[in-house]
Amino acid sequence: MSMEFLVATAIGALTAGGIYLCLRARTFPVVLGLAMLSYAINLFLFAMGRLVVGRPAIYEKGATGYTDPLPQALVLTAIVISFGMTALALVLALRTFLETGTDQVDGRPDPDLLDRENRT
């Protein structure tokens, strides 16, 4: 099994899991889905950078080649930005829960919780 297949499978699994979680009706799975999509994008950018093993990240005199440092810089920047956006989304989800009393994405009451309250 080649390394490209493993990386492509990981990117596909993260993307599929992220999309599935983003389509859920509760806020916390949506935040987790956005984080998974962010990880998939970072892995994709890193894989597309054509990293070369054993070569310097910057040009050195006498070296036969170098690795492009731009994809690594982009991924590092994306990790920092996605961490900040995940923190913001969690704070917004918590505030919405405290204001509405439910963690549903649309703000409507949870039908399962209403059924439990009506039975008692």
- The CATH number given to whatever domain includes residue 59 is 1.10.287
Evaluate if residue 11 carries a pLDDT over 90: yes
- Predicted local confidence at residue 41, as pLDDT: 93
Residue position matching structure tokens 């996605």:
82
The model's pLDDT over 26-62, given as tens digits with 9 standing for 90+, comes to 889 999 999 999 999 999 988 888 777 777 777 777 7
pTM across the whole model: 0.77
Radius of gyration of the chain measured on its C-alpha atoms:
21
- Residue partners of 29: CB distance under 8 A and separation at least 6: 21, 22
Average pLDDT, the chain: 85
Mapping DSSP to helix (H, G, I), strand (E, B) and coil, where does residue 104 land?
A: strand
Counted domains in the chain: 1
Between CA 86 and CA 117 the distance in angstroms is 33
Structural domain boundaries, residue 20: 3-119
Query: What's the pLDDT at 72?
Result: 83
d(CA 120, CA 115) in angstroms, rounded, equals: 9
Question: Region 12-23: what's the mean pLDDT?
Answer: 96
